[in-house]
Amino acid sequence: MFDLQAPIPVLISTVLPLRASGFDMKKAYEGAMDQIGSDKDSGDMWKDWIRVVEAEPAHNVHEEQQKMDILRKIYRRAVQIPLHNVEQLWRELDTFENKLNKLTVKPQFMIFFSGL
């Protein structure tokens, strides 16, 4: 059905039309990352997953908060892995947290580090 040798963005664009039939892209990424996310070369997959979640529309404040929680969870999982692009993901996580609320950035990072 899919050309598994194709670059990930091509695979994603092939799968995106399946959303209309109830296909859950976020769950597909979560399952894939559970299997291959700890590979040092999976950094681009983590970034793709983040972009997919960012692209999801939020129709109200509750959905927007859920989206931010999911993004935070993805970033936190990714930066715990020694990926080739972990520094870039750390910078993105810092920017993400700063955009949400500058007052809570330090406590969020302190909470994150205390859980390691």
Q: Is the dihedral of CA 13, 14, 17, 19 positive or negative?
A: negative
What stretches in the chain show pLDDT beneath 70? 1-23, 102-116
What distance in Å separates the CA atoms of residue 33 and residue 62, rounded to the nearest whole number?
Answer: 26
Tracing tokens 């700063």 back to the chain, one arrives at 98
All domains of the chain in start order, with CATH: 8-114 (1.25.40.10)
Instruction: Give a three-class secondary structure readout of the chain.
Output: CCCCCCCHHHHHHHHHHHHHHCCCHHHHHHHHHHHHCCCCCCHHHHHHHHHHHHHCCCCCHHHHHHHHHHHHHHHHHHCCCCCCCHHHHHHHHHHHHHHHCCCCHHHHHHHHHHCC
Say what the pLDDT of residue 97 is: 83
Residue 62 one-letter amino acid: H
Instruction: Report the half-sphere exposure of 32 (CA within 13 A, side-chain side).
Output: 16
Q: Residue count of the chain, please give it.
A: 116
Answering whether pTM is above 0.95, one says no
